[in-house]
Amino acid sequence: MIEKDYVIRVHAEPATLDAAAWNALLAEQSAPTPFMRHEYLAALHASDSATPETGWAPQFLTIEANGQLQAAAALYLKSHSYGEYVFDWAWADAYRRHGLPYYPKLLGAVPFTPVPGTRLLARSAPARQLLVEAIGGLARQAKLSSAHVLFLDEQDRRAFEQAGWMIRHGVQFHWTQDAQQPMADFTDLLQRLQRDKRKKIQQERRKVAEQGVRFTTHEGIDITPELWDFFYACYTLTYQAHHSTPYLTRAFFARMAQQMPQHWVMFVAHRAGAPIAASLVAIDADSRAAWGRYWGCTEPVSCLHFEACYYQPLAWCLAHGYTRFEGGAQGEHKMARGLLPTPTASAHWLRDDRFAQAVADFLATEGSGIADYVDELRDRNPFKPAAPPDGEAATET
């Protein structure tokens, strides 16, 4: 139970929060990730990556009782919908066409980071429900059009659903270690894939090797400032190739190197003695999970993206006993690399009842389509069927 005498506060500066108390509360949750740590969220703000000037105005919500942090959420006032990966542009356009403001809206998310996990940091179920009520109350008090909390874990999804929020479903692609018959290494993973998928991966890896590319792996404090500089140059080139601007500044990655080095692994591709590409993966030793985050290259090499972003990280995960690798948002092509469809969820509240009903109808239709899509994807499982019982013949596909 949460005390009756509690205090709800809204913080415009993440740095003013008690980092130890925030992280301790995060550690108690069912699905904590490094991206919800105070260091990560504060670095986004301090590095000028997620600030009011870039359309992310922090409104971190805390609930305290007897001087102890009981619940918290990372919230932002958003003046646009970039960097979220749960797309509501059509909703914003509908508001505009009816002469109503959609922005600013209230958003609960990790900026630029579509990683599912705990969003409602709470010590108990009552504290979690109170936090949901406080988020809605903040949106109503500010007369905002809407509130959205993205990439929820299951516990948070139930809390929002119980409070009457609309739930939107999506899908990502994750690799998970087989708990019954663990994969020993990347070769073992390949052997479990359907023959056509296995051959394609082998061909792609061969192409990279035949073009003279070799990889080095760098973990934690062994990632030097020079490597971080090279990686950031590659990262910016990826955005330039898409005629876009990088979300994250070099100062953000400097803070990661200083404050959270244990959560990063970098894979660097070399050719003719010079680095030509880099991919950055976030890791968490406690949960044995890894997340593919960013990559870039200085020159084109056929199949290099797949090697840097999937095959090298998967091989590393298997070698180090990690049991989950998440490949980021979207990307049906990831299935052919051994990453399987995984449902995601977000919660949404709209103040205008007319728009809320229209969105609810849309989400019902979209959700049915997502469910059918996931079923279809699962029918195309890239892995061979499980081994038959003893005495029955297995068939190679």
Q: How confident is the model at residue 386 (pLDDT cuts 50, 70, 90)?
A: confident
Predicted structure pTM score? 0.95
379 burial via Cβ count (<10 Å: 0-12, 13-18, 19+): exposed
pLDDT of 160 higher than 50:
yes
Summarised one tens digit per residue, pLDDT across range 318-360 is 999 999 999 988 789 999 999 999 999 999 999 999 999 999 9
Measured CA to CA, the distance from residue 272 to residue 285 in angstroms comes to 34
Give the CATH number of domain 178-322; options: 3.30.70.2740, 3.40.630.30, 3.40.50.300, 3.40.50.620.
Answer: 3.40.630.30
Close Cβ partners of 225 (under 8 Å, ≥ 6 residues apart) = 257
Q: What is the tens place of the pLDDT at every residue in 114-157?
A: 999 999 999 999 999 999 999 999 999 999 999 999 999 999 99
Confidence of residue 387 (pLDDT cuts 50, 70, 90): low
Mean pLDDT of 215-229: 98
- Token code pair at residue 353: 């009842």
* CA atoms of 45 and 58, how far apart (whole Å): 8
**Whether the predicted pLDDT of 394 surpasses 90:** no
How much is the mean pLDDT over the chain?
A: 95
Q: Which two tokens stand for residue 162?
A: 């119980």
Q: What residue type is 196 in one-letter code?
A: D
Q: Domain ranges for the chain, please list them.
A: 6-174+342-379, 178-322
The pLDDT value recorded for residue 396 is 46
Instruction: From 13, 1, 66, select the one nearest 41 (Cα to Cα).
Output: 13
Within this chain, domains 6-174+342-379 and 178-322 share the same CATH topology? yes
Q: What is the CATH number of domain 6-174+342-379?
A: 3.40.630.30
